[in-house]
A and B are shown apart, each in its own frame.
Chain A
Amino acid sequence: MKSSVIVFPGSNCDRDIAVALEKLQFKNKMVWHKDSELPKSDLIVIPGGFSYGDYLRSGAIAAKSKILNEVIKAANKGCLILGVCNGFQILIETGLIKGALLRNKNLKFINKDVYLKVNNTNQFCKNYKNGQIIKLNIAHNEGNYFTDKNHLMEIKENNLIAFQYCDEKGLVNDETNPNGSLNNIAGILNSKKNILGMMPHPERMIDKIISNEDGLNIFSSILN
């Protein structure tokens, strides 16, 4: 399977994503944001970081870069797109995923490992058990997902929430919500379910020696 990782000035998780993809035998290419051609890809990843120093709104400037036009075209043709952290913010700013990511409710940059409840009814999560509790790292200042009432209804009806913040027992409520995100949303799909945006970093949890392997199944799910 072929993958591309888009790199912006300020991306800092691009190589970690590449390591994760290569561990699972993806044939991966790094693509600079000024490129106007995208290599043939089954999966495009927009990595985390601080593209353009988060100027204007996180992801707003990167969303207008040349290569993003190609990413949008590929997305509309059904290519799988994964946006992690700043990548999620960029997807939001392109409109590929509806909604907005506001500043964390407590106004603090949060860097910690959190528990997530998985909904496995999509291509990105199918190697997890439904309702499985996993532990991934979050590191962001603007991860507080917000959307309007109509979209929230669509999200619930079509089962578009991929990950929700919870505790180790799977309890989803205000106390287990680190950033104030609507319905504890940590990861969400577009209506066609070929695009996943998520604040937690699966690429940081792919090796038992340095953390755990809870993030690995996202990449392996995409493979099959």
Chain B
Amino acid sequence: MKFAITVTLKKDVLDPQGKVVQQTLQNMGMDTLVNVRQGKYFEIELNETKEDVAKNLIEEMCKKLLVNLIIENYTINKIS
């Protein structure tokens, strides 16, 4: 079973990298651009057939290592 995890910075946390990317895209003439936030993406494959068990394990991975809950949010999606 394979999962996609997207980690994004919370709304109130300053994202200097996203700002620089945004500035550069605007300088390139992307006039309708309003906002850019940069995040992280993980693909994790598990040897597990029960979906709820797998999801709980991914949830644990996020909370214990992949995500800093003070500054980041995350979403989990099953991709296969």
Contact = CB atoms under 8 A, between A and B. Distances in A.
Contact of B70 (A60, A144, A148): A148
B62 interface: no
B14 A56 contact: no
A105 B16 CA distance: 6
Contacts of B71: 100, 102, 146
Contact of A100 (B17, B20, B68): B68
Contacts of B53: none
A56 B65 contact: yes
A98 interface: yes
A64 B64 CA distance: 9
B16 A57 contact: no
B13 interface: yes
Interface residues of A, number: 19
Interface in A46-90: 56-57, 60, 64
A193 interface: no
Contacts of B17: 103, 107
A93 B71 CA distance: 12
B14 A57 contact: no
A180 interface: yes
B66 interface: yes
B68 to A, nearest CB: 6
A146 B17 CA distance: 16
A60 B61 CA distance: 13
Contacts of A158: none
A36 B35 CA distance: 47
A170 interface: no
A85 B20 CA distance: 25
Contacts of B16: 102-107, 180
Interface string B9-28: 00001101100100000000
Interface in A111-147: 144, 146-147
A57 B70 contact: no
A99 interface: yes
A105 B71 CA distance: 15
A107 B70 contact: no
Nearest to A180: B14
A100 B65 contact: no
Nearest to B13: A146
Given A56-B66, A64-B64, A146-B14, 9 more contacts: A64-B65, A99-B70, A100-B71, A103-B16, A105-B14, A106-B16, A144-B14, A146-B71, A180-B16
Interface of A: 56-57, 60, 64, 93, 98-100, 102-107, 144, 146-148, 180
14 contacts: A56-B66, A60-B65, A60-B68, A93-B68, A100-B70, A100-B71, A103-B17, A105-B14, A146-B13, A146-B14, A146-B70, A146-B71, A147-B70, A180-B16
